[in-house]
Amino acid sequence: MKVINKSIKTFAAATLLTLGMGSSAIASAATTLVVGTWMPPSNPMNTIVWPTWAEWVEEATDGRVKVKIEHDLGHPRSYYQLVEDGVINAGWSFTGYLPGRFSLPLAVEQPGMGVNAEAASVALWKVHQKHFAKAKEYEGLELLALLTHGPGQIHSREPISSLADLRNKRIRIGGGVQSQIAERMGVTPVAAPGPQVYELLQQGVIDGVFMPAQEQSSLRLNEVAPNLTLLPGGMYLGSFSMFIDPVFMDSLDPKDAKAIRSVSGEKLSALAGKAWDMADTEGLKYAREKGVNVVELGPNDKITLEFNQLIKGMDDAWIESVKDKKGVDARQALKDLRSYAHSYKSTN
């Protein structure tokens, strides 16, 4: 079936190309690479990451490939399928939106990573290349980058002085490791994509959300969740992937495909992680300026100690969850991931 789909997509691409060459005036027109994106326009993926990559691609291909960015094409989980089906050429999504398909990238989401998004993103890319690629979880897609957002924190309508204050509260959960943390906390999870969080809080459907600090400004959470509790190192990291249609890549001149790959991979992962880190810094500053009750916990504060007790055994639980991934040494991969992350030095 994959061979048939690939043939159909290749034929469609060739047909469009032929139709687009109806006159000599446009016979040399650049190839358009259509990227699909989601989240609000103020999200770092939309303000920095995709636009910068678009510039890199156009420069690397000497203008032979132009990038067009399309917004809000459906639920974030659908972007994998949109690219696989050739509806768009490239996109990105959150790992936790397809839990039955992706389990290995959740290694980077485990509590205790203790690094920023840039270091974690580069480390995840390296570990994927060394350990995870062989499992072919991204079969049907070509990875452009792997990344994480900054440390996930607690945004709530009411202040909290203990994790017990969250028990049975309705908390929006995006999936991934957040789900396991929520279960251990005893909260009532509410599944919803990130862009819906503001409305859910505004309407009182949820009492809080686990997200990085940058969403105070990006999603305007300061207006609906005026309490931000910051744990040292955060509770988790959220993992994402950026991907492209391999059939589209095969349709390009090999030198252009090579050029696109040259500005992707580890370089793009680093850019994305750094963009999220910058957004966290700006989001925290914004929250304080707007009068949000920001509680920055220390290592010996009650909530921190409660959380550290709560997450015990999560590494082993993840390792056990991926035991069916033949050829993948999960324990060594997690060890390498943390080693890469802690030894990472930013290029700037």
Same fold across 2-98+112-149+240-278 and 152-236+280-341: yes
Query: Token pair for residue 156?
Result: 């709530």
Residue 189's φ and ψ, nearest 5 degrees, are -75, 140
With 50 as the cut, is the pLDDT of residue 212 above it?
A: yes
Q: Does domain 2-98+112-149+240-278 have CATH number 3.40.190.170?
A: yes
Mean pLDDT in residue range 51-76: 97
Query: Token pair for residue 281?
Result: 């810094």
Give the Cα separation of 239 and 181 in Å (integer): 15
With 50 as the cut, is the pLDDT of residue 115 above it?
A: yes
So what's the pLDDT on residue 9? Answer: 53
Query: Token pair for residue 342?
Result: 């802690």
Residue with tokens 């005026």: 226
Residues 18-42 have pLDDT tens digits of 333 343 333 358 999 999 999 989 9
Residue with tokens 């949820």: 206
How is domain 152-236+280-341 classified at the CATH fold level? D-Maltodextrin-Binding Protein; domain 2 (3.40.190)
End-to-end CA distance of the chain: 46
Residue 74 DSSP class: S
Helix ranges restricted to H, 73-231: 79-84, 117-127, 177-185, 197-202, 215-218
Domain ranges of the chain: 2-98+112-149+240-278, 152-236+280-341
Say what percent of the chain tops pLDDT 70. Answer: 91
Q: What is the value of pTM for the model shown?
A: 0.89
Flag the least confident range among 169-178, 291-300, 333-342: 169-178
Q: What is the DSSP string of 211-240?
A: EETTHHHHS-GGGT--EEEE-TT-S---EE
